[in-house]
Chains A and B, each alone.
Chain A
Amino acid sequence: MENINKLTAVAQIKWICISRNTAIMIGPILTVAMVWICKILYGINSGGDLSPMLVSLLLNLGISLNLCLDGFIMVGTAIAEEKEKHTLRVLMTSSITGMQYFIGSIIFPFVLMNIINIVVLLISGVSMSQVSVAAFLLVSAAASLISCVMGMIVGLCAKNQMNANLISYPLMFVFMMIPMFGNLSEKLHHISGFLFTGVLTEMAGGFAEGIPYTFKALDITVLIAELVISILVFLMLYRRNGYEKD
């Protein structure tokens, strides 16, 4: 690619901005900490050994938190911060294209989210012999990507960082809460199957309970459909105003 320098410059800027923004970085740290603490608490109650049900719960918690808290917020808030500090306009008038900004903005969050998914998997204590690593990585990548694109939509609509959080809440409510509480109600569990977050938590839960994983047509459809829909929504909004309304 001819303009790889521009892409890496954006990615580098985003890396510095995100990693030094405590309001953003609290997300991934909190995710790992929550899983860790819950594991200890569950362990105390059940005398050390976690039942598959509890491991599944841990995985569910960590993955839902990661995909929503980190994804939407990390990508969305970082763009909102650039609007707030008037640097987005500077980048867009420095020969960075919309596409380069898009890709550059999601590289770091995407990688970090996948790493955290793996960390959560390791902390949960699920027996690795029950995990189909390749399938997990693939679905984790797809889900992280969808989360990043949704984060871009949040960033597109947000005027400032507070605003970005506000816009993220309804998304978080749907994509985080439903899979999280899926264990409590059969109805929620059913809906959760139609969410990209639910596909990954369901898969991880299966690992915990020792069910061998097989790709289901519904899962693949859900992932592809939600990716396509979020990209279309992004493009529609982008066509209208670009990254920043004038």
Chain B
Amino acid sequence: MEQNVLLDLSHISKRYKTELALKDINITLHKGEILGFLGPSGSGKTTTIKIITGQLRQTSGEAKILGTDTVNIDDSIYEKIGVVSDQSGIYEKMTVWQNLSMFAKIWRVPRIRVEEVLHQVELYGHRKKPAGKLSRGQTQRLVLARAVLHKPRILFLDEPTSGLDPSTAVSIHKMLLELKEEGMSIFLTTHNMEEATKLCDRVALLYQGKIAECGSPKELCLKYNQNKKYHLLLHNQEEVVLEQSPQNIAKISEWMQRDEIQCIHSCEPTLERVFLQVTGASLGLANI
């Protein structure tokens, strides 16, 4: 296996009793990369994470994590990876500090690292508070702090920002990018397309248990930019959307020369539009 491929799924499928939740999933995660698994509710994101992290056995196919087949991993794998599931809990009766120090003990992490992480998630000032008293965003930051305490090589995040306010989400994004700078690889799931565009080096669009598309967000957006369009706002407050055509180009260049344009944007599709186009389905609330 290539040195910097940390994760390699080939032909993974998963059947729950009657339902086929995953169908032939193939994906790799490289060192220092943020990979996003995007998909609507029920598309199999959580199932995928559970299989890779050894919490669930696949029906067929092979998954390798850090060079070992997930069928053969034992509990020591968790010393090298960090897992935040969609409902990771905290010990509400313990203080913030205790919540981390217990896990520091499990992983033999020095005290100074606990302090460092607490500063990083901006919870140092709350370290003596019972964790049950934290707000939702603070709780999520504590969960994240715990998952990275032992500097895992791969961090798995199942919908790390769902249900959080935008500013907390942004602070979590910032932290994830910092972790990436430190060389950590991150595998995250989300149904927030904007988040994926901003964070991920590569995204896989999951739909009904299959990967419908995979690539960098930019690549995908450009790939599906079939009929180019431009959105213009003129000085007379008129808004127009023009397709790429000889007449329109002449028109735009004329407006430009006369300085009649207030602003101009190219209309390549967002990841969301790509997703809708690929799957022909709506993403519910995320729909514009």
Stretch of A60-68, A94-102, A202-210 on the interface side: A94-102
B93/A16 in contact, CB under 8 A: yes
Distance in angstroms from B270 CB to nearest chain A CB is: 34
Size class of the A contact interface (CB-based, 8 Å): 20 to 34
0/1 interface trace, chain A 7-21, chain B, CB 8 Å (1 if under): 011001100110011
In the assembled complex, A90 has its CB within 8 A of some CB on chain B: yes
CA distance A5 to B109 in the complex (A): 11
Shortest distance in angstroms between A2's beta carbon and chain B's nearest beta carbon? Answer: 11
Partner of B105, one of A5, A21, A86, A92: A5
Instruction: Please state if A90 and B106 are interface contacts (CB–CB under 8 Å).
Output: no
What is the number of residues of chain B that contact chain A, defined by CB distance less than 8 Å? 28
Give chain A residues whose Cβ lies under 8 Å from the Cβ of B35: none
Contact call A246/B56, Cβ cutoff below 8 A: yes
Residue of A nearest to B85 (CB): A89
Q: B87: which of A5, A6, A13, A86 is its contact (CB, 8 Å)?
A: A86
Q: Are A6 and B106 in contact (CB under 8 A)?
A: yes
Q: Which of B73-96 contact A (CB under 8 A)?
A: 74-79, 83, 85, 87-94
Question: Is there a chain B Cβ closer than 8 Å to A187's Cβ?
Answer: no
Min CB gap A111→B, angstroms: 19
Q: Convert B53-70 into 0s and 1s, putting 1 for each residue whose CB lies closer than 8 angstroms to a CB of A.
A: 101100000000000000
B286 beta carbon closer than 8 Å to chain A? no
The answer for the CA separation of A13 and B104 in the assembled complex, in Å, is: 12
Partner of B91, one of A87, A92, A97: A87
Task: Identify which of residues 163-191 in chain B touch chain A, using a CB-to-CB cut-off of 8 Å.
Answer: none
Contact A94 B103 (CB under 8 A): yes
Closest B residue to A84 using CB positions:
B89
Closest 4 A/B residue pairs (Cβ): A86-B89, A95-B78, A9-B105, A87-B89
Chain B residues with CB under 8 Å of chain A are: 50, 53, 55-56, 74-79, 83, 85, 87-94, 98, 102-103, 105-108, 146
State the A residues within 8 Å of B (CB).
5-6, 8-9, 12-13, 16-17, 20-21, 85-87, 89-90, 92-97, 246
